Amino acid sequence: MPTATADGVAVHYERDGDGETVAFVNDVGAGAWLWSWQHGVVAGPYESLVWDLRGTGRSDAPPGPYSVDRLAADLEAVFADAGVARVHLVGAGLGGMVALAYAHEYDRGASLTLFGTAASGDAVTDRLADLRAPLDDREALAASLQTAFASDLTDHPTIREEMIEWRQADDADPTAWDAQAAAMRSFEAPPLYEITLPTLVLHGVDDEIVPASAGEALARDLPRGEYRAVEGGHWAFVEESAAVSDALVGWLDEQTSDG
């Protein structure tokens, strides 16, 4: 199990597949399970890299609060350890903010795909707190999951139970969750005109955590931003996984064929 070291903190990552690297950056508190629906699709034509942000999974959990810049530096340590020279970044929520900061500060980025992402933590609603739950309380975990979705998870009991189990195994505990949430709420993007990577902004039309209007504004203010609305909530890439995965691979194919 590969592990990078960033500022004395062990950061776990895994990679699978061949081709150009696509790295997934998790949302607040979530383990790498969050990308289960995209990982398998991407890991055929590309190398898929997932990692545990500090505070989650098999990475260390130092005391917080954390910052987006610190998490971006952790990601740079992962890429340096893995020998990644060029990478397509895919992030959700907090992970989208980390991807933006990374693209501004480091030079390995090739493209960005952002879900439920805002240029400022000020756009994040109070509903973010409803994602937080103690990992030993399955009922609370189920209720908090619903916050990220527009569809009723009781209509999908099998996948709901799987997500609860994954959360219990890999998600941040409430203390580390708070540290990551502080990073999300305090984020202010660097000057967006300086982020010149091609960027696809996908946003759930019923996102109650980061309003879709924030995603539209982000895409509009990025020099090479493109906005696409997606049915669903904050984690629309799970709700509409087939359509989103197709869109993601199509976008990646465009970027790799361009250069």
Note the pLDDT tens digit of each residue in 61-111: 999 999 999 999 999 999 999 999 999 999 999 999 999 999 999 999 999
Cα-trace Rg, the chain = 16
Domain boundary assignment for the chain: 3-258
Show the tokens assigned to 47: 């190398």
Domain spanning 3-258, CATH class: alpha beta
Q: Would you state the pLDDT for residue 258?
A: 60
pLDDT at residue 28 tops 90: yes
Q: Would you state the pLDDT for residue 259?
A: 52
Note the pLDDT tens digit of each residue in 211-250: 999 999 999 999 999 999 999 999 999 999 999 999 999 9
Q: What is the Cα–Cα distance from 49 to 78, expressed in whole angstroms?
A: 10
pLDDT at residue 46 tops 80: yes
Q: Would you state the pLDDT for residue 89?
A: 99
Going 54 to 56 to 59 to 63, the CA torsion angle's sign is positive
Note the pLDDT tens digit of each residue in 166-215: 999 999 999 999 999 999 999 999 999 999 999 999 999 999 999 999 99
CB of 124 within 8 A of CB of 185?
yes
Q: Would you state the pLDDT for residue 71?
A: 99
